[in-house]
Amino acid sequence: MSYIGRTPIVGNFVKLDTITTSATATYNLLNGGVSYYPQSANNCIVSLNGVIQSPTSAYTISGSTIVFSDALTSSDTIDFILVLGDVLNLGTPSDNTVSLAKLTATGTKDATTLLKGNNTFGLVTPNNISTDNAQLRFMAATTSTTTLTTQNVFYKTTWNQQLIDNFNEFDPTTNYRFTASEAGTYLFNCFCSFRLNSDQDIAFLAYYKNGSASSNTDVYKSIIGSADGECYMATAYKVTLAATDYIEIFAKWTSLGSSREFNNGAIGGEAIWTGWKIA
């Protein structure tokens, strides 16, 4: 007889080992020679002498044993005992049987992505860091000092150390700039130092987009507190870029007197520039 409805193709059905009957009502249940523990009589189908038995009245389950209501004899035959899985337990799904739609998390599951809640987290490696929607594009540093010879004039800074460049977007040799390979919203961070000579010096850092100073230019400033000292600055800049748009960093100072320096290595100057794609 054909199956009414959709034919089951996956299930945790277990056919237990053959049992030889004797003058007793209690028999051990084995699966591959190992004791098996059905959770109840109701999820077992037992055929005795060609007749399906009624659970709980014709037999009960106690641990890894089946107990018939009446003692059997050696002439009786237990045709089979089929266990239909554990009560309220799906068991272990077969390979490739659970779709993404059935998972509580959303996202893409592949060799480089983990699922967590409603977000995807990429696997962290030294050159690939991503959390939620933020993706590290590059990290650059500089060993070069940029001399600011004239006050109130922006000078392009040199970033000659490429520490991370996940998408081949940073140029550390010619233009010292980041060029977006895809459109999106980006967040740039820069930690740098200036060598200033007067307690009235003010240092500025500007992010230039496609060769023009951004509107954020004058936000990033720091006033030196002692003569001939080093000033540290930390900045952040959020901007929407199209593919091929590029970002550079410029610096200037405002005061009277001689030239000043961006990232003076002689007095321990440091500079790190990072860029993240956040949307």
Tally of structural domains, the chain: 2
Do residue 53 and residue 187 come from a single domain?
no
Do residue 65 and residue 160 come from a single domain?
no
Do residue 173 and residue 70 come from a single domain?
no
Q: Specify if 98 maps to a domain.
A: no
Output 56 or 90, whichever has higher pLDDT: 56
Give tens-digit pLDDT for 103-122.
Answer: 665 555 554 454 444 444 44
Q: Specify if 114 maps to a domain.
A: no
Give tens-digit pLDDT for 77-104.
Answer: 999 999 986 555 555 666 777 766 666 6
This prediction's pTM:
0.51
Q: Specify if 118 maps to a domain.
A: no
- CATH number, domain containing residue 263: 2.60.120.40
- Max Cα distance, the chain (Å): 114
Of 26-30, 32-36, 128-132, 272-276, the least confident: 128-132
Q: For the chain, what percentages of helix, strand and coil (3-state, to nearest 5) are there?
A: 5, 45, 50
Q: What are the C-alpha distances in Å from 263 to residues 143, 178, 244, 255? A: 8, 19, 28, 18
Q: Specify if 203 maps to a domain.
A: yes
Cα-Cα-Cα-Cα torsion 134, 135, 137, 138, nearest 10 degrees, comes to 80
Q: Specify if 3 maps to a domain.
A: no
Do residue 79 and residue 137 come from a single domain?
no
Report how far residue 149's alpha carbon sits from residue 161's, in angstroms, rounded to the nearest whole number: 24
Do residue 144 and residue 53 come from a single domain?
no
Do residue 36 and residue 138 come from a single domain?
no
Query: 262, 157 in Cβ contact below 8 A?
Result: yes
Query: Which residues in 95-127 are b (16+ Cβ under 10 Å) and which e?
Result: eeeeeeeeeeeebeeeeeeebeeeebeeeeeee
Range of the domain at 273: 133-277
Do residue 145 and residue 253 come from a single domain?
yes
Residue type, 164: I
Q: What is the mean pLDDT of residues 229-252?
A: 88
Do residue 24 and residue 152 come from a single domain?
no
Do residue 39 and residue 146 come from a single domain?
no
Q: Specify if 165 maps to a domain.
A: yes
Give tens-digit pLDDT for 156-188.
Answer: 999 999 999 999 999 999 999 999 999 999 999
pLDDT of 69 over the 60 cut: yes
The pLDDT of residue 118: 44
Do residue 75 and residue 156 come from a single domain?
no
- Pick the last residue of a domain from 47, 67, 83: 83
